[in-house]
Amino acid sequence: MKYIDTHAHLDSEEFAGDSIAEIMATAEKEGVSLIICPATDAESTRKVREISQKFPRVYFAGGIHCHSADNFIEKDFVAIKRLLRDPKAVAVGEIGLDFHYNFSSRALQDHVLKRFLKLAEDTAKPVILHCREAERELYDHLLPYKGKLKGVIHCYTGNSDWALRFAELGYYIGFTGIITFKKSEEIRDAVSALPIDRILSETDSPYMTPVPYRGKRNDPSRIPIIVKEIARIKNISEEETASILMKNALDCFNIKDL
């Protein structure tokens, strides 16, 4: 089986001091053949681009995370726009809204999201979207782009109703190791409600480590655990699930050279 991790922050400080080559080798042993690294700001975009240059099966996305919206400056936007011209840049992101932590003001989260959604439209790239307790607001941002943008609501933590509404707009829903947590019934309900062709697999590493490794640093090698749980919920074989999720990701991110 071949797996894809559509969201791994390999530039995170939690991987500092580790060999990315060793992390990649461990993932490949588990069948993970493709990894997408989203960025969180301009410097992060430069770092994930550098990682993608070193590893043929790593792609990257560029953007400014909503947690960093208060630090937005035009120079960074211009730099990210330039980096997104790279052939291995497959998406704009990670961008979005987070009204749980509110690390940045809502006004600036809105402003930065609008700028990057327009950039995604202008560059014909999909988006990687963060959403925490902001489903209604994010939906309102995306509705005018129906039929113009596609992408993924990553690390989904909402209910099945909102998952289906985002899917109706043409978006994929990304699920992490959270679906293995004991108290995540609502998120598992979203997996159950969605058509399998609207689901993506991701680790969001180094975060969201699945059971039985919860509490330890996550990495892309844990993707098979997530795919196995999705297969269980959907009552589909692991082999078929892995194949469908791979196709979904290739379609979402317009990757042709697998």
Break the chain into its structural domains and give their ranges.
Answer: 3-252
Cis previous bond, 94, omega within 30: yes
CA distance linking residue 91 with residue 73, whole number of Å: 20
* Contact by Cβ (8 Å): 57, 23: no
Residue keyed to tokens 């469908």: 244
- For the chain, 258 residues long, the average pLDDT of each consecutive 10-residue run is 97 89 96 97 98 96 97 97 98 97 96 98 98 98 98 98 98 98 98 98 98 97 98 98 98 87
> pTM of the full predicted structure?
0.97
Phi, psi of 96 (to 5 degrees): 150, -150
What token pair was written down for 68?
């960093």
Cα atoms in the 13 Å half-sphere on the side-chain side of 53? 8
151-153 sheet: strands from edge to edge: 3-5, 32-37, 58-62, 89-98, 127-132, 151-153, 171-175, 199-201
pLDDT at 258: 60
- Residue 225 pLDDT: 98
Q: Can you give the pLDDT at residue 148?
A: 97
**Four-CA torsion 173, 122, 42, 45, nearest 10 degrees:** 60
Dihedral pair phi/psi, residue 60, rounded to 5°: -140, 165
| 41/24 Cα distance (integer angstroms) | 23
- pLDDT reported for residue 257: 63
What does the pLDDT read at residue 122? Answer: 97
Please, what is the end-to-end C-alpha distance for the chain in angstroms? Answer: 14
Look up the CATH number of domain 3-252. 3.20.20.140
Residues comprising the chain, all counted: 258
Q: Is 199 helix (H, G, I), strand (E, B) or coil?
A: strand
